[in-house]
Amino acid sequence: MLMPARLARLPAAAQWALLIGLALVLDLGGALLRLPGSSLLGALVAAIALSLAGVTIRLPRRVYVAGQGMVGCLISTTITAAILHSFVEDWPYIAAAAFGTLLVSLLLGWLLSVWRVLPGTTAIWGAAPGGASAMVVMAEAFGADVRMVALMQYLRVVCVVGVAVVVAHALATGPAPEAAIRAAAPFRPGEVAAAVALALAGAWAGRASRVPAGPMLLPLLAGALLQSSGLVALQVPAWLAALAFGAIGFQIGLGFTRGVLARAASALPTILLSIAVLIALCGLMSIALARALGLDPLTAYLAMSPGGIDSVAAIGAASGADMSFVMALQTVRMLVVLLLGPPLAKAIARRSAG
């Protein structure tokens, strides 16, 4: 094992080679374990490990911004006409479920803040449901400790995915027809080029406009509008999504220090308890949702699952859930968190500080 001082003396190219190689190995391990989001988690863990071991490299800011834009584009590809139709039909229940999950998560974040487990908005953003990468970007835009938020978000993702896989295995109704279609979808250069152009242009516009999390939000909203109107079709292949998630993982992980991890270790039992409570409460709400709308239990559970959209989509598509409803609720909840999270987080942080 190289000592920290020796790692720091290595050329930047050698440090990048070590980082990328380790991230690929961890990504492959996660893929073999069928862990959704393995590219992001692999990059995050690799960057944390080598940052603590002494590497001095840092990801160029423009690469991170481009990664945010591509994540926004990727999320926009899940917002289809079927999702909009499902929302129109069941919007009161979807809205109630989305707001219910948000309020529960903010309450848990507020308790973590009051108990001084984590300070202010860091605890609140760390507990917020929605896409983990989206929450990390929003947390950074509003001054929270992005490293602790990332740790809470990705730890929750791992826990939620583990529980969801067990639940899906128990409740699966069979492979969904659309899963095979998506898996066999041919590579379409024009649609990929359109996605890349939108991601880069939207990320640049978002950064120039100084809109909080604009590099991700602008491509997300623009992509959803263009696709739902039929004007442009976008395709984000797995390898391109992996590069975007990898950039975000590297940016966050390379900022970790021994002090951050020591602080996280002391807070870990309480953070894990809050995650368990959130999963349990969302599970109870899914039972009420299933009874109110006559949904199958798996669809209701995945719709209410406090994991990321990509994780839920990967699990649901392979287990026969009603993905139109699942993605409708997940998308609405993420938008609710993005739009209402900042003012609510600020208000709760002020209250807990007072």
Q: pLDDT per residue over 241-292, tens digit each? A: 889 989 988 988 887 777 677 777 888 888 889 899 999 999 999 999 999 9
Q: pLDDT per residue over 192-229, tens digit each? A: 999 999 999 999 998 888 776 688 878 988 998 888 78
Amino acid identity, position 297 = P
- The span from the CA of 36 to the CA of 265, in Å, is 25
CATH number of 60-353, picked from 1.10.287, 1.20.58, 1.20.140, 1.20.1530: 1.20.1530
pLDDT value at residue 354: 57
Q: State both tokens at 41.
A: 């988690």
- The span from the CA of 129 to the CA of 105, in Å, is 7
Which regions in the chain score pLDDT beneath 70?
1-5, 34-37, 80, 82-84, 120, 130-134, 172-185, 212-213, 259, 308-311, 313-314, 317-318, 342, 346, 349-350, 352-354
Q: State both tokens at 46.
A: 């690799």
For the chain, the structural domain boundaries read 60-353
pLDDT value at residue 265: 82
Q: State both tokens at 329.
A: 């609720």
pLDDT value at residue 181: 41
Q: Tell me the whole-structure pTM to 2 decimals.
A: 0.71
